[in-house]
Amino acid sequence: MNTVTAPEYLPDTPSSSPTMRHFRAEKFDFWSFFFSGLTGLATLFILGILATILLNIIVNGWSGLSWHFVSTIPKKDFFDIHTTGVLPMIVGTTFRVIVMTIFVIPVGVITAIYLTEYASNTSIITRIIRAAVNNLAGVPSIVFGLFGLGFFINFIGKNLDVVLHNTNAVWGQPALIWASLTLAVMTLPVVIVATEESLKAIPPGLREASLALGATKLETILKIVLPQALPGIMTGGILAVSRAAGEVAPILFTGVAYYMASLPSHLSDQFMDLGYHVFVLSTQSPNIDQTRPILYATVLVLLILTFALNIVAILIRARVRKKLRALG
């Protein structure tokens, strides 16, 4: 007959271990230790990559930063370290992100309100909207660029020109507004998802109390739900802005210019862009060793700008939260 051996974790004989030592949760196991270590190393490695990229840029870019650099409009040959500057790129990137925000926030927030406050989770239309949002989030950024060219410029812009300007090319060419709209379509899912999350976090009791006091559904949403959700909407805005500020592919065909002598002043102007400038400097430079300091400084400005926008938004969010708390 087979003898049944006791599992390892049971003491062989009660007398041999008067203490409960055998019942430690983990016996030392080499392979467990080894593989746990590996996953820890993977984590460390990823953090190492992040730190290397950031440190490399800060260390090499710091010396190139000066007031002159960020406040100068460069001459046509912007590869010269003494006369170059990035003012038009900072202005261009900021403008396109601001115009984008004006379009994407209302649409994103209203969609999120529909999904959480009005829609039933099981209806087909809700499921299609959700699937569309998920899909929009996964469309490659270059396809958004093609879409901007095919839809905004070649379709809407050209037709606007026919109606308004007697077919002179005003809107039917790459422009700030088309780049911003393309980015707005791209960041729509970011705003929707973040807003929806914050709407869901509001206790249903608040809505029920409001409705019970005689407020209509619309009043409840406008006066009770939205103010509570404001920090979440801000977060959505921040995420959308920081995503859009660094994107280059969608604006390649929809509005960015290699060089412009003046700052953009109209929505139908083209603009220079920090991210695109990084691309130009690193791939089209006649002498990469001479361009290197400008390049690092420009990359640093791009990173600082995305972080600065983030910090401003985080500060606003903190104030909103404080206010809400004061209201009780």
Q: Is there a contact between 241 and 97 (Cβ–Cβ < 8 Å)?
A: yes
- Give the residue with the Cβ less far from another protein, 279 or 327: 279
The three-point CA angle 249-251-257 to 5° equals 115
Measured between alpha carbons, how far is residue 191 from residues 196, 238, 278 in Å?
Answer: 8, 9, 27
Report the nearest approach of another protein to the CB of residue 326 (Å). Answer: 27
Q: Please name which of 40, 145, 81 lies closest in space to residue 281, comparing C-alpha atoms.
A: 81
Report the nearest approach of another protein to the CB of residue 197 (Å). Answer: 13
Report the nearest approach of another protein to the CB of residue 1 (Å). Answer: 26
Q: Which position has the token pair 């640093």?
A: 300
In the three-class reduction of DSSP (H, G, I as helix; E, B as strand; rest coil), residue 286 is classed as coil
- Give the residue with the Cβ less far from another protein, 230 or 249: 249
Report the nearest approach of another protein to the CB of residue 139 (Å). Answer: 6
Footprint of another protein on 62-121 (CB under 8 A) = 106-107, 110-111, 113-115, 118-119
Footprint of another protein on 3-32 (CB under 8 A) = 7-9, 25-27, 29, 31-32
Burial of 124 (0-12, 13-18, 19+ CB in 10 A): exposed
Q: Segment near another protein (CB under 8 A), from 67-75, 78-86, 227-235, 279-287?
A: 279-287
- Of residues 63, 83, 123, 140, which one binds another protein by CB under 8 A? 140
In the shown chain, the binding pattern of residues 34 to 63 toward another protein, with x for contact by CB under 8 A and - for none, equals -xx-xxxxxx-xxx-xx--xx-xx------
Q: Segment near another protein (CB under 8 A), from 1-9, 162-170, 227-235, 311-319?
A: 1-9
- Of residues 63, 83, 123, 134, which one binds another protein by CB under 8 A? 134
- Of residues 101, 275, 294, 317, which one binds another protein by CB under 8 A? 275
Alpha-carbon 306 to chain mean position: 9
In the shown chain, the binding pattern of residues 178 to 217 toward another protein, with x for contact by CB under 8 A and - for none, equals -------x--xx--x-----------------------xx
> Euclidean distance between the first and final Cα of the chain, in Å?
74
CB neighbours of residue 207 within 10 Å: 18
The three-point CA angle 245-302-147 to 5° equals 30
| CA distance linking residue 146 with residue 149, whole number of Å | 5
Footprint of another protein on 225-254 (CB under 8 A) = 242, 245-249, 252-253
Task: Report the largest interatomic distance among the alpha carbons of the chain, rounded to a whole angstrom.
Answer: 101
Q: Which residues contact 131 (CB under 8 A, 6 or more apart)?
A: none
Report the nearest approach of another protein to the CB of residue 323 (Å). Answer: 25
- Of residues 72, 94, 228, 282, which one binds another protein by CB under 8 A? 282
